[in-house]
């Protein structure tokens, strides 16, 4: 038998930075699908088709992997949430449309999950506070841009930001419910709160969100 004719099983050794990114990407996907508790060294290893020891090499402490996976998911979602260019009303409408469409539901579940677990993990609580601050910063920038152009007749950008994010969190508290949202007051609570917080006429952001979803051709 010619052993040279049998294909040799070779393991591809990836650069450390590439392998670490791959691990975090899969860990974040597990978190979004089933929660941070589902992130284990074995679960990530099975996704990658490697031994758990390889995951341990990059993340000796499982908690570090859990926290970095949460941060990875939050950072990715922030880029989807908050456009950095364009007219402030359109940027705010984009943010609200993302919430109302249900596209942010997996991350809303993850935030709810992380807030609960952070009670028992000071390191996760620190990561939550950091990501919260970055979200507030990005949303406040949109509001301040609208204030400079007199589009948002509001006096306090930080207060408006906090009120809007409270509405987002309040809406997100229902994401684990099996029943569907049917009442417009709940469906559009973020848009309605944002109108009030920004000093806009009632219905302004509902209309702006509708224009994004159904642009005039």
The two tokens of residue 9 are 């099983």
Beta strands in the chain (DSSP E): none
Query: Is the pTM higher than 0.85?
Result: no
CA torsion angle 162 188 172 64 (round to 10): -60
- CATH for 82-213? 1.10.357
Nearest to residue 143, comparing CAs of 166, 168, 163?
163
The two tokens of residue 25 are 């990407």
Annotated domain spans of the chain: 14-68, 82-213
Q: What is the pLDDT along the chain (217 residues), one digit of tens a residue?
A: 444 444 434 456 788 889 999 999 999 999 999 999 999 999 999 999 999 999 999 999 999 999 999 999 999 888 888 888 899 999 999 999 998 888 888 888 999 999 999 999 999 999 999 999 999 999 999 999 999 999 999 999 999 999 999 999 888 777 777 666 567 778 889 999 999 999 999 999 999 999 987 654 4
The two tokens of residue 83 are 């456009």
Distance CA 195, CA 165 (A): 13
**What helix, strand, coil percent values describe the chain, rounded to 5?**
70, 0, 30
Distance CA 36, CA 117 (A): 9
The correct CATH number of 14-68 out of 1.10.260, 1.10.10, 3.10.450, 3.30.110 is 1.10.10
């Amino acid at each position: 038998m010619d052993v040279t004719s049998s294909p040799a099983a070779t393991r591809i050794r990836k650069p450390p930075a590439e392998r670490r990114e791959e691990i975090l990407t899969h860990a974040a996907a597990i978190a979004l699908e089933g929660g941070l508790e589902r992130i284990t060294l074995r679960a990530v290893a099975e996704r990658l088709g490697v031994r758990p020891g390889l995951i341990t090499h990059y993340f000796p402490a499982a908690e570090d992997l859990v926290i970095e996976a949460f941060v990875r998911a939050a950072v990715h979602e922030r880029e989807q949430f908050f456009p950095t260019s364009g007219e402030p009303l359109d940027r705010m409408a984009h943010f609200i449309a993302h919430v109302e469409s249900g596209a942010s539901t997996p991350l809303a579940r993850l935030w709810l999950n992380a807030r609960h677990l952070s009670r028992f993990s000071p390191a996760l609580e620190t990561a939550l506070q950091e990501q919260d601050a970055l979200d507030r910063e990005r949303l406040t920038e949109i509001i301040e841009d609208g204030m400079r152009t007199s589009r948002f007749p509001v006096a306090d950008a930080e207060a408006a930001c906090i009120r809007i994010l409270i509405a987002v969190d309040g809406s997100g508290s229902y994401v684990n419910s099996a029943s569907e949202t049917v009442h417009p007051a709940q469906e559009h609570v973020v848009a309605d709160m944002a109108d009030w917080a920004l000093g806009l006429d009632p219905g302004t952001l509902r209309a702006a969100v509708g224009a994004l979803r159904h642009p005039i051709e």
